[in-house]
C-alpha cells in the first residue's frame, strides 16, 4: 500500500493532497472519505501521519479479511468482522517489544476511523427498525475498545516534592558499617 499525491489542476482543490491506495494503486475508499471529512482541515503532514496508522490497519485487515476486506466490512457494517480485525490488531500493536506513544496514537486513530465510518453509515443507510441494533453494537465496540491502552503501565518510582537538600541523610546501616 502506498500514498498518491493528487496535485493535478483538474482535481478539485479540496481533493488535492495525499490519498491512501492499495498495492494496485486503487484508492482505499473509506480511508480517503474519512480523511477528507474528519481530518481534511489538518496540515498535510498530520494527514499523512494519521493515514499511515490507517494504512497499518488496512494491511492487518487484508491479512484477515482479504484484499479490500476492511472497506467491504465497513460498507456492510459487519460488526463481527470489524471486531475481529480490531481485536487482533490491538494484540499485534500491544505485543510489540516496546510500546510507544505512537502505538497508542495508532490504536486510537484506527478505532476512531472505524467508529466514525460506522456512525456515518448507520445514520444514512439503515431503516429505523435495524438502526437500534447497529447503534447498540457500535456503542459496544466503542466502549469496549475505547478503554484499551497499548502502553502497559509500569511501576512509577517515588517522586519527592522536596529537594535533595531538605531530605536528611540516613545514617549507615550498623551491620554494613562494621564490615
Question: Which DSSP string do the residues of 85-147 spell out, in sequence order?
Answer: HHHHHHHHHHTSSS--HHHHHHHHHHHHHHHHHHHHHHHHH--HHHHHHHHHHHHHHHHHHHT
Number of structural domains (the chain) is: 1
- Per-residue pLDDT band for 157 (boundaries 50, 70, 90) equals very low
Residue 53: which of 94, 111, 5 has the closest Cα? 111
Higher pLDDT, 170 or 141: 141
pLDDT band at 22 (very low <50, low <70, confident <90, very high): confident
The mean predicted confidence, pLDDT, of the chain is 77
Query: Does residue 86 form part of some domain?
Result: yes
- Reported as a pLDDT band with limits 50, 70 and 90, residue 153 is low
The answer to whether position 178 is within a domain reads no
Q: Is residue 46 part of a domain?
A: yes
pLDDT tens digit sequence for 113-140: 998 998 888 777 666 666 667 667 767 7
Q: Is the pLDDT of residue 173 over 60?
A: no
Is 179 among the domain residues?
A: no
The answer to the question of residue 158 being in a domain is yes
Q: Tens digit of pLDDT for each residue in 48-92?
A: 899 999 999 999 999 999 999 999 999 988 888 998 999 899 889
In a domain, 26, yes or no: yes
Q: Which domain holds residue 66?
A: 2-171
Cβ atoms 113, 34 nearer than 8 A:
yes
Is residue 119 assigned to a domain?
A: yes
Residue 176 lies in a domain: no
Which residue do the cell numbers 481534511 mark?
Answer: 40
0.75 exceeded by the pTM? Answer: no
Number of neighbours of residue 96 by Cβ within 10 angstroms: 10
* Nine-digit cell string for 156: 512509577
Give residue 47's pLDDT band: very low, low, confident or very high (50, 70, 90): confident
Amino acid at each position: 500500500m502506498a500514498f498518491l499525491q493528487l496535485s493535478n489542476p483538474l482535481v478539485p482543490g479540496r481533493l488535492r493532497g495525499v490519498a491512501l491506495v492499495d498495492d494496485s494503486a486503487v484508492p482505499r475508499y473509506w480511508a480517503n472519505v474519512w480523511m477528507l471529512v474528519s481530518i481534511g482541515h489538518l496540515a498535510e503532514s498530520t494527514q499523512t501521519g494519521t493515514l499511515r496508522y490507517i494504512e497499518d490497519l488496512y494491511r492487518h485487515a487484508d491479512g484477515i479479511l482479504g484484499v479490500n476486506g476492511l472497506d467491504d466490512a465497513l460498507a456492510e457494517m459487519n460488526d463481527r468482522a470489524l471486531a475481529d480485525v480490531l481485536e487482533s490488531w490491538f494484540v499485534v500493536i500491544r505485543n510489540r517489544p516496546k510500546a510507544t506513544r505512537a502505538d497508542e496514537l495508532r490504536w486510537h486513530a484506527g478505532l476512531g476511523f472505524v467508529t466514525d465510518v460506522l456512525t456515518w453509515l448507520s445514520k444514512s443507510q439503515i431503516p429505523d427498525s435495524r438502526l437500534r441494533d447497529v447503534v447498540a453494537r457500535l456503542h459496544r465496540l466503542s466502549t469496549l475498545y475505547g478503554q484499551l491502552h497499548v502502553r502497559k503501565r509500569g511501576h512509577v518510582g517515588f517522586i519527592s516534592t522536596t529537594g535533595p537538600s531538605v531530605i536528611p541523610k540516613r545514617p549507615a546501616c550498623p551491620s554494613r558499617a562494621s564490615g
